[in-house]
């Protein structure tokens, strides 16, 4: 029996192809990181450039024409780089505070790499007048590869273009062909080191950023599961209790009143028994959306359990809460809930009270009065709003 072989790319080739993928998903984060790094780089580079210029102008010998040309060329190169670094500092001083990248952030990161590489090539080309050393070019290759996060494809283009420029320009100042060949070969090594560092750093950062995103997403999912109702996406009782505790502390500090409204769908069991639980679940989802769409931006509606919902209205009087509950009651009564081919109308009963707990008691009893008023509404004909008599103590007994 003939078994067909499945050919695949060698592992090293697969890794290289993966390394040179665009990885567009992390470009925003890397651009912001590059802006921060460029800011600190410019802080270090500006005084260093000033020191270099001072040393060259004060110590350079002008005994020969070559030394004079070298001194003027090196000074000019450092001065131009100084101007760019000052510009980068001023630009990043504002841009580094951004939380979202813009066009300026993306352009600046590439411009800075190009300027630094160009400066290294210019300095090493002029240096060939007095020395055969290519250290400035090597340092700029390493610096750009380790400081800036540039995706491999763009990095390859930048380094390739830089080497071609270096290859051509050093021929202008090196007359010895053996030395020219040696420096061109050494330049390949410098470019290779810089490109390799750039790819390694990019892949390391890409992995870190994607892992951080995955962890944040998992944390959000866990938070959603812990603090939000899975059916309606409303806050659940655990989160609502935390908000209640915060509001109680705020009330204690500022002395304002806040209201709690409890509501319950009338005869909800009949809906489940007649149409099934999926229809009942959809009614709950639509009611949750209706409530959430009609509260104030600083109010909170929570699914309390089953067909019960509860609303926290900070900085609201009891009368204001009652008026709002009556408006919601009419809104719900007039709303048509459509589930497939089924159209239903429902009513709700409401209990309204001031947010209050007894001294020394746990904040878990915050809904006691509202729940008591809801009970009265249910047993007084339903589809109505009942109001607790002011901020009565929780030890109040039924009259």
Q: Do residues 280 and 267 touch, judged by C-beta distance below 8 A?
A: no
Q: Is the pLDDT of residue 12 over 90?
A: no
**How far is residue 141 CA from its own chain's centroid?**
31
Q: Compute the distance between CA of residue 138 and CA of residue 149 in angstroms, rounded to an integer.
A: 18
At residue 53's C-alpha, the angle toward residues 51 and 57, to 5°, is 120
- Across all residues in the chain, what is the average pLDDT? 89
Over residues 146-166, the pLDDT tens digits come to 999 999 999 999 999 999 999
Domains of the chain: 11-220 (no CATH), 237-387 (3.30.70.270)
Q: Which pLDDT does position 246 carry in this prediction?
A: 93
- Give the SS3 label for residue 380: coil
How high is the pLDDT of residue 396?
30
12 to 134, 223, 380: CA distances (angstroms)? 32, 40, 78
Q: Is the pLDDT of residue 331 over 50?
A: yes
Query: What is the predicted pLDDT for the residue at 365?
Result: 81
Question: Residue 179's CB: how many other CB atoms inside 10 A?
Answer: 13
Give the DSSP per-residue string, 118-168: HHHHHHHHHHTTT----HHHHHHHHHHHHH----HHHHHHHHHHHHHHHHH
pLDDT tens digit sequence for 211-232: 998 998 888 888 778 889 999 9
Q: What is the pLDDT of residue 45?
A: 95
| 3-state secondary structure at position 354 | strand
In the chain, what are the helix, strand and coil shares in percent, each to the nearest 5?
65, 10, 25
Task: Decide if 130 contacts 173 (C-beta within 8 A).
Answer: no
The sign one gets for the Cα dihedral 15, 20, 21, 24 is positive
pLDDT at 399 over 80: no
pLDDT at 17 over 70: no
pLDDT mean over 70-99: 94
What is the percent of the chain where pLDDT is above 90? 77
pLDDT tens digits for 236-287? 999 999 999 999 999 999 999 999 999 999 999 999 999 999 999 999 999 9
Confidence of residue 394 (pLDDT cuts 50, 70, 90): very low
Question: For 87-139, how does the pLDDT look when each residue is reduced to its tens digit (9 = 90+)?
Answer: 999 999 999 989 899 999 999 999 999 999 999 999 999 999 999 999 999 99
- Cβ 210 vs Cβ 26: under 8 Å: yes
């Amino acid at each position: 029996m003939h078994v067909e072989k499945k050919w695949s790319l060698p592992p090293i080739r697969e890794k290289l192809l993966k390394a040179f993928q665009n990885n567009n998903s992390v470009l925003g984060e890397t651009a912001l990181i590059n802006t921060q790094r460029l800011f600190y780089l410019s802080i270090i580079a500006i005084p260093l450039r000033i020191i270099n210029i001072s040393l060259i102008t004060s110590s350079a010998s002008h005994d020969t024409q070559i030394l004079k040309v070298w001194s003027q060329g090196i000074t000019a190169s450092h001065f131009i780089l100084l101007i760019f670094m000052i510009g980068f500092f001023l630009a990043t001083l504002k841009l580094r505070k951004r939380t979202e990248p813009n066009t300026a952030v993306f352009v600046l990161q590439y411009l800075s790499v190009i300027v630094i590489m160009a400066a290294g090539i210019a300095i090493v080309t002029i240096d060939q007048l007095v020395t055969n050393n290519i250290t400035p070019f090597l340092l700029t290759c390493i610096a750009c590869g380790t400081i800036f996060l540039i995706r491999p494809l763009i990095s390859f283009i930048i380094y390739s273009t830089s080497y071609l420029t270096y290859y051509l320009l050093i021929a202008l100042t090196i007359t010895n062909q053996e030395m020219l060949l040696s420096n061109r070969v050494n330049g390949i090594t410098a470019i290779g080191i810089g490109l390799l560092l750039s790819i390694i750093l990019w892949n390391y950062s890409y992995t870190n950023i994607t892992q951080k995103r995955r962890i944040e997403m998992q944390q959000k999912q866990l938070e959603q599961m812990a603090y939000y109702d899975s059916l309606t996406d409303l806050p659940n009782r655990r989160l609502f209790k935390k908000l209640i505790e915060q509001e109680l502390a705020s009330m204690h500090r500022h002395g304002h009143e806040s209201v709690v409204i409890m509501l319950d769908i009338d005869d909800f069991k009949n809906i489940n028994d007649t149409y099934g639980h999926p229809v009942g679940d959809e009614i709950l989802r639509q009611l949750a959306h209706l409530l959430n769409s009609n509260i104030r931006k600083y109010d909170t509606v929570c699914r309390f359990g089953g067909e019960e919902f509860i609303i926290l209205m900070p900085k609201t009087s009891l009368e204001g809460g009652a008026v709002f509950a009556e408006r919601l009651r009419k809104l719900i009564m007039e709303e048509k809930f459509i589930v497939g081919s089924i159209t239903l109308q429902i009513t709700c009963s409401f209990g309204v009270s001031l947010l209050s707990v007894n001294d020394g008691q746990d904040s878990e009893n915050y809904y006691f009065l509202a729940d008591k008023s809801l009970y009265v509404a249910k047993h007084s004909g339903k589809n109505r709003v009942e109001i607790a008599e002011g901020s009565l103590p929780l030890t109040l007994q039924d009259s």
